[in-house]
Amino acid sequence: MEPSSRRNRCDTSVEGMRPGASANSSPRPSKKIKLHWSKLRDYLGGLDSALLKLKPMVEKLAIQKTIIVLTCNRGQSELLMNFACNARAKGFDIKNVLVFATDEETEKLAGNLGLAAYYDDQFFHAIPAEGAKRYGDRNFVAMMFAKVLCVHMIVWLGYDVLFQDVDIVWFKNPLDYYHNNKLSGDFDIYFQDDGVRSIRYAPYSANSGFYFIRNNNRTRYLFTQLLYAGDLIQSWNSHQQVLAQLLSEHSSLFGLRVKVHERNTPEFPGGFHYHRRKNFMRDIVQGKQTDTYIFHMSWTENKDNKLKYFQQLGEWYVKDSCIGKTVEGILAGKAGESQLAIVEPCCSKEAIVVCHYKDKPSRIPCNDKPPIDKDGKPFWADANGKPL
């Protein structure tokens, strides 16, 4: 996910590199490498035990040999709640979703939303529970390594994987696309297009927050190599950049078949469309765009803005009374009577629509609100500023 500038919440430097980066990055400092060795020892030392625990869970969850994988910490839990509440309100079957929680509270929260959850203290104890305040900060980078581990484990068990970040909502079940070869074709791995066209992510511009893996020798080796490259993730502050490098390398050396859903196609839109394709977003909020499967709130500075954007887009389904609360706080100290204990108190059956900014896509006109971007023009207005 490409960050946005502080002033303009949509990234506009699509042709450049991040500050301090270069197209020919130098080898990693020994300190980063040794730190990664330590993490790798912990992971590989506990991997067999973890796989034994995961295997019976995954066998029960899998649909057509596929697991939908998310990873989340306490700081991002409202977005996880919104994915679950949004999906339930729309009638989607999310029984094959497995949440890799990086703290015990998030594991408990996911379970009380009716989602299967897995927490491993040996692997995840050092990951902060707080959410990232900005792209690339310490918490952000720590969660990037969790993204590597959870996918590696499921791929190593022999399953296809749909990985998605928690800032995603569904319009149609994306597995209906990937399980239909007439629609998806014959590739090893599929990615949402990030939208940027910078050297950093060349040549694929793949977004590492939404992708589908067909399990085979090529993809298992790809994600094993990504595991070994954790020092680069720490140094570059990016899981996506490292994966982009490996996609290019493995495509050339091993024949890895990569498909990126081009940004001008409607099936898998994200932040690029939210900030730069007003007509497309109007079609979505008016129900005219029927080919769209998911929407990914990428290109967004932090969780607070994601929440606001989802609210005015009409894709927010979490009641205010549950935001920032633990399971115990939500249930007021009462033990949950079922695995779905917090669904009723937290999940709205209808979208909670709130206006915040006039210049961002919204379900209803928000022309009386301020813009968030410098010189931002109303979303519900024509090129001359006349309300639509």
Please write the tens of the pLDDT for every residue from 59-98. 999 999 999 999 999 999 999 999 999 999 999 999 999 9
Region 134-157: mean pLDDT is 83
Cα(303)–Cα(308) distance, integer angstroms: 9
Q: pLDDT at residue 11 above 50?
A: no
Q: Any idea which of 61-70, 131-140, 361-370 has the lowest mean pLDDT?
A: 131-140
SS3 262: coil
Residues whose CB is less than 8 angstroms from the CB of residue 173 and which lie 6 or more positions away in sequence, other chains included? 92, 93, 293
CB of 216 within 8 A of CB of 186? no
Q: In what order do the strands lie in the sheet with 189-193?
A: 116-118, 97-101, 66-72, 160-164, 206-213, 189-193, 258-261
- Could you give the C-alpha distances from 328 to 67, 74, 77, 104, 321, in angstroms and in order? 29, 14, 14, 13, 13
Residues whose CB is less than 8 angstroms from the CB of residue 44 and which lie 6 or more positions away in sequence, other chains included? none
pLDDT at residue number 142 = 76
Residues whose CB is less than 8 angstroms from the CB of residue 56 and which lie 6 or more positions away in sequence, other chains included? none
Region 213-223: mean pLDDT is 98
pLDDT at residue number 226 = 97
Q: Any idea which of 40-49, 101-110, 123-132 has the lowest mean pLDDT?
A: 123-132
Cα(44)–Cα(61) distance, integer angstroms: 24
| DSSP-assigned letter for residue 381 | B
pLDDT band at 260 (very low <50, low <70, confident <90, very high): very high
Higher pLDDT residue, 133 or 384? Answer: 384
pLDDT band at 384 (very low <50, low <70, confident <90, very high): confident
Do the strands 116-118 and 160-164 form a parallel or antiparallel pair, or are they unpaired? unpaired
CB of 126 within 8 A of CB of 142? yes
pLDDT at residue number 234 = 86
pLDDT band at 333 (very low <50, low <70, confident <90, very high): low
Q: pLDDT at residue 2 above 90?
A: no
Q: pLDDT at residue 354 above 70?
A: yes
